[in-house]
Amino acid sequence: MQIIQSKEEFVRFLGEGSFGCVNLVRYSNPNDGSSYLSAVKNLPKKTMPISKANSLEESFSRSGKKLYKLQLEFASEGSLSAFMDNYTDRKLPEPLIKDFTWMILEGLVSVHGHGYAHCDIKPDNLLVFPCSSSEGYEIKISDFGSALEVGDVPKFWETNMPWMGTPFYMSLESVRDGVAEMSVDLWSVGCLVLEMYTGVIPWEGVNLHLLATLLCCGEAPEIPESLPSDAKDFNQTCFSREPEERGSATELMSHPFLSRPQGEENRGRENKKLVFVEVAQVENQTKKFQQETNDRCCCCFRQEASEVDVFFLQRPHSLREL
């Protein structure tokens, strides 16, 4: 993790989540005059395990409460949802839809490979970055606040409130039993593809009570006839009633809908990063390990549970100088 420079300048407020607010901050090197922008998350002391908090810079809120600063990569293009607002009727060009879908699946291969399901894949939780080496964009998965180990059931899940994540992107089996499975994320990918083509959220106009009933009856979002045949087949696979028929994120990357981007094979190998995973249990027994993986996952997340706190931390990319 890059060391925070002593000279910093608040630029603007970016947003606020369940565990803290995020500001855009410019850091300057007084020695050579160089500077860079970073999204800095201010986390309350109670959300950080001691083993991780000791490596972060401390600050104080206006009310005097101790905070910890966590530097994150700044997504200058914002979320996928905000990015879509720049296009007519929020409909993305098909080449961009295919590229983004590929990248999302690439990130899920990493998340699933660590034994987790994200459980809340949606446009607001996907961040868009300009490519540093060429024209175009990259997309990365963020906000792992709903993430669970595969096979777990969230404590807040109940039959009368059966939502593991954002309802309109949830799969039918997650509503029935609430078990976190990799297939839940693949259903959500199908919802994303529909939204990128149509500009409209899945199940628009359906209230939550009816949505839960439809999902429990095995219904899926309607796939417009206007979609290309390979896109319709891809979505039908994502919306399979039987979770195992959706395959895996890796298998979906081989679907005819996703023609492999030119040079992607070499780029994927060259850009592999280290993702650090720490599991800190209540008994203060801490297990750390490192695994090489791709760079489609960014940010830090804390799973809200009494038994286990989970953090995925990624070394930041080389930051562009301003």
Q: Which residues are catalytic?
A: 120
Query: At which residue do the structure tokens 């100088």 appear?
Result: 321
Asked if 163 and 178 count as a contact pair (C-beta separation under 8 A), the reply is no
Closest CA to 164 of 125, 120, 217: 120
Helix axes 182-198, 229-238, angle to 10 degrees: 150
Closest CA to 101 of 220, 201, 184, 188: 188
- Strand, coil or helix: 175: helix
Contacts of 267 (CB under 8 A, 6+ apart): none
- Strand, coil or helix: 74: coil
User: Is 46 annotated to bind ligand?
Assistant: yes
Asked if 282 and 306 count as a contact pair (C-beta separation under 8 A), the reply is yes
Contacts of 248 (CB under 8 A, 6+ apart): 109, 112, 182, 186
Contacts of 298 (CB under 8 A, 6+ apart): 72, 73, 127, 140, 141, 142, 314
Chain-centre distance for alpha carbon 275: 14
Closest CA to 181 of 147, 158, 150: 150
Strand 35-44, strand 21-28: pairing? antiparallel
Q: Which residues are annotated as a binding site for ATP?
A: 46
